[in-house]
Amino acid sequence: MPGIEKLPLEETLEDSPQTRSLLGVFEEDTAAISNYCTQLYQAMQRIYDAQNELSAATHLTSRLLKEYDKQRFPLGGDDEVMSSTLQQFAKVIDELSSCHAVLSTQLADAMMFPISQFKERDLKAWKITKTDFLLLADHDTAINRYSRLSKRRDNDKVRAEVVEDVYTSRKKQHQTMLHYFCALNTLQYKKKTALLEPLLGYMQAQISFFKLGSENLTQQWEDFLGTIGTSVQNVRREMEEEVGQMQENIQQMERSCDPLYAPCDPDPAHSPVCRNLTRKQGYLYIRNKTGLVSSSWERQYFFTQGGNLMQQGRGEVAGGLVTDLDNCSVMAVDSDDRRFCFQVTSFDGKKVVTLQAESRKDCEEELAARVNQTALEAVTPSPSFQQRHESMRPSSKGRTGRTSSISSVGSEPSPALSVLSLDALVAPDTPIQFDIISPVTEEISGQNKAAAQPGRRSNPFGESGDNAAEDNSILHQLFIVRFLGSMEVKTAESADVISETMRQILAARAIHNIFRMTESHLLVTCDCLKLIDPQTQVTRLRFPLSSVVHCASHQDNKRLFGFVLQAAGGRGDSRVVCYIFESNNDGEKICDSIGLAKQIAFHSEMVSLYQS
C-alpha cells in the first residue's frame, strides 16, 4: 500500500500560505471521504435491513408451514402426504431461518459496527475540530493591535497587555492547528480501515453463512428436493392434461348448448318434448300473494324429494317444502301477466301453487314430470318416516365440524361419526314431541298429593319452592325461544347428536306440515334452565344445570340451537333427551351463556368443598 500523505506539524506555528494551501487540499479530501462514506453506510444499512427482513420472513414461512395441519380447507380433505411434505419443508426452512439469524448478527457486528464508528465518531470529531479552527480570529486582531503601539508614547502597562494578548492568541492558534492537523492526518489512515473492515466483515459473514448452509443441507435433503421436484412436474403434467380435456369439453358444450341459450322454444325436430319424465329440477317462478289482490313472482330452484315438491333460493343451504305431491292435481293455467304457467293443487284443494316455466317446452315437461310423479305416488305405498327422511341425511364424507360440549354444529357430521354411525346417535322411528305439555295438567296430581300431606302448602301456579335459592343466583339471562321438538337419543358422548336431532325434527316438521311453535322465555341461571310461559309466567319445564351435557348451535342457521339432557331414571338407568329450539338471538350466545352458568356452578361447588 503506498505511503500516506501527512500535514507537517512543525509548520503550524509559522502558518505560511503554503501550509494553508496544503491544508485546503486535505480538507477537500476529507469532505469527499465523508460524503462517500455516508453513501456507503446507507448501502450497507440496506443490506443489513434486507437481511433482517429475509430472516423474519423465513421464520414466518416456517411457522405457517407448521400450522398447515391446523387449517380447515373446505375442499382440502385429509391429505397426509401433503401435510408430511410441508412439515419436512418447515424443518428445512426453520434451519435456514436460524442460519439467516446468525448472518444478521454477524453483519451487525462485523460490517455495520466499523463503518458506524467511523461515521459517528471520527468524522464527527473532525467536524468539531474544524469548527474550532474556523473560529480562530483573535490572533490577527492581537497582532494588529501590537503593531499599532506608539513609539513616542510608550506605556509599559498597555504594552504588557498587548504582549500578553498576542501570547495567548498565538498559543491557542498553535494548539488548535496542531490538533486539527493531527485529526486530518489520522483520517487519512482511518479512511482505509473504515472502507476495508466492513467489506472484510461482510465477506466473512457470507462465507460462514454458506458453510453453515452446506453443512445443514446434506445429501438427504437433496434427494428429498429431487423427489418433490419430480412430484411437482407430474402434478403439472396432469394439470395440463386436465386443462386440455376441460377446454375440449367446454368447446363441445358450447356447440351443443348454443340452441339452449335463447329463452324461446327450440326447434321441436331437434329437441322434442319428453313426456316420460318422473323427476325434473330447475329454476321456476312462483307466485306469492302480497295483498288481497296483488301478487309478486320470485325465481326459485324447484326439485322433488321423497314425494314432496321442494324449493330452494340461491345461497340457501337446504330446500323448503312447497307441497306434497301425493294425490295432487297438476294442470296448465292462463295467467293475466305471465306465459307458460301451471299450477299444482293439493288433494284437499286448500293449497294452490302457481308456477311459471321459461318456455313452452319446459312448461310441458314440468307438467309431465309432476303428473308422472303424482301417479307414481298414488301406486307406490307411502314410505315410513325413517325411509322418507333417510335421503336427507348428510354424507359421511362431509366436512369436519367443531365438536365440543359448548360448540357450533352444522349439517355435516364430525370425524367421530366415521366410527359412530348416525343410527347409533338417534334410534330410527324414535317418537318426536313437537309441543310442550302444559304444566297445569302435569302437576295437578302432584299438587293434590302435596295438599294431602299435613303441614305442606301447595303452590297454585306450579312453581317449586326453591325459587328463593334460584333468585339468589349470580347469573340471570333471559332469551326468547320457540320450541321445535325433542326426542330421546341413544348417547350423550358426542355433540353431533344435536346436529342429527335437528335434521330429523326439521325433516319431520316439513313432511307432516307442522309449522306451529310454542314460544317461551328461556331463563339461564347458575342452578337450572327454565322455560317460562311469557303470558302467565308459569314455569313450563325446569332442567337442572347438572343434567345439561352438551349445548350447540347450528353451523349454518345460527338461530337454531339445542342441548342434551341426561337424567337418572327410576330404576337406576338414565334417559338422554335432546331439545331443539329456535331463538331470536344468536344461538351461540345462548350456548355461551349456558357454558358460563356451568362454569360458575362448578366454581361455586369447588369453593364449597374447599371451605368444608
Read off the C-alpha cell for 29. 479530501
276 versus 55: the higher-pLDDT residue is 55
Give me the amino acid identity at 73: F
Q: What is the 3-state secondary structure (H, E, C) of 304-368?
A: EECCEEEEECCCCCCCEEEEECCCCEEEEECCCCCCCEEEEECCCCCCEEEEECCCHHHHHHHHH
* Contact indicator for 409, 552 with CB cutoff of 8 Å: yes
What are 440-488's pLDDT values in tens digits? 434 434 444 444 444 433 343 344 444 444 455 677 888 999 999 998 8
pLDDT, greater one: 101 or 472 = 101
pLDDT number for residue 265 = 61
What is the tens place of the pLDDT at every residue in 162-184? 788 878 887 888 888 788 888 88
Check if the beta carbon of residue 563 is closer than 8 Å to that of residue 587.
no
Sort residue 252 into left (φ over 0), alpha (ψ -120 to 50) or beta.
Answer: alpha
pLDDT value of position 388: 37
For 264-306, how does the pLDDT look when each residue is reduced to its tens digit (9 = 90+)? Answer: 666 666 677 777 777 788 889 998 888 777 888 999 999 888 7
- More confidently predicted of 593 and 429: 593
Q: Has residue 559 got a pLDDT over 90? A: no
Highest averaged pLDDT of the listed ranges 173-182, 273-282, 384-393, 580-589: 580-589
DSSP 8-state secondary structure symbol assigned to residue 517: -
Single-letter code of the amino acid located at 188:
Q
Are 304 and 279 a contacting pair, CB within 8 Å?
yes
pLDDT at residue 83 greater than cutoff 50: yes
- Output the CA–CA distances (angstroms, integers) from residue 316 to 300, 301, 319, 400, 496, in the order listed: 11, 10, 7, 20, 22
Query: Quick one: average pLDDT of 589-610?
Result: 86
Going by pLDDT thresholds of 50, 70 and 90, the confidence category of residue 228 is confident
Question: What pLDDT sits at residue 60?
Answer: 93
Q: How many residues does the chain have?
A: 612
For the chain, percent of residues with pLDDT exceeding 70: 78
Q: Is 56 helix (H, G, I), strand (E, B) or coil?
A: helix
Report how far residue 547's alpha carbon sits from residue 64's, in angstroms, rounded to the nearest whole number.
42
Mean pLDDT computed over 199-222: 82
pLDDT of residue 262: 73
Could you tell me which residues come within 8 angstroms of residue 515 by beta carbon, excluding any fewer than 6 positions away? 509
Q: What is the pLDDT of residue 468?
A: 46
pLDDT at 78: 60
Instruction: Please compute the mean of the pLDDT values over residues 312-317 and round it to a whole number.
Output: 84
What is the enclosing helix (H) or strand (E) of 121? none
CB neighbours of 164 closer than 8 A, spacing ≥ 6? none
Q: For the residues 87-113, what does the mean pLDDT come to?
A: 89
If pLDDT is split at 50, 70 and 90, which confidence band does 375 have? low
Least confident segment among 9-18, 143-152, 416-425: 416-425
Q: What pLDDT is stored for residue 346 in this prediction?
A: 83
Quote the CA–CA distance of 357 and 330 in Å, as a whole number. Answer: 14
Least confident of 5-14, 139-148, 257-266, 441-450: 441-450
Residue of 135, 222, 221 whose CA lies nearest to 176: 135
Confidence grade of residue 587 (pLDDT, cut at 50, 70, 90): confident
On the CB side of 454, CA atoms within 13 Å amount to 0
Predicted confidence (pLDDT) at residue 10 exceeds the cutoff of 90: no
Average pLDDT, whole number, for the chain? 77
In the chain, the domains with their CATH numbers are 17-71+79-217 (1.20.1270.60), 281-378 (2.30.29.30), 476-611 (2.30.29.30)
- The pLDDT score that the predictor gives to residue 535 is 87
| pLDDT of residue 121 exceeding 70 | yes
pLDDT in tens, 507-538: 887 777 777 788 899 999 988 999 998 888 88
Cα–Cα separations (whole angstroms), residue 22 to 113, 170, 229, 254: 32, 20, 66, 88
Highest mean predicted confidence (pLDDT) among 144-153, 239-248, 260-269: 239-248
The span from the CA of 462 to the CA of 491, in Å, is 31
Looking at residue 421, its pLDDT comes to 46
Q: Give the H/E segment covering residue 300.
A: strand 295-305
Say if residue 406's pLDDT is above 50: no
Sheet with 352-356, edge to edge strand ranges: 320-324, 308-312, 295-305, 282-289, 352-356, 341-345, 329-333
Which pLDDT value is given to residue 416? 38
Q: What is residue 375's three-state secondary structure?
A: helix
What pLDDT score does 74 carry?
79
Per-residue confidence at 402, pLDDT binned at 50, 70, 90? Answer: very low
Q: Is the pLDDT of residue 319 over 50?
A: yes
Contact between residue 279 and residue 366 where contact means Cβ atoms under 8 Å apart:
no
Q: Provide, rounded to the nearest whole percent, the portion of the chain with pLDDT above 90.
A: 14
What grid cell was written down for 145?
493591535
Contacts of 29 (CB under 8 A, 6+ apart): 188
**pLDDT for 479-497, tens place per residue?**
999 999 998 888 777 778 8
Is pLDDT of 565 > 60?
yes
User: Residue 570: its pLDDT value, please?
Assistant: 54
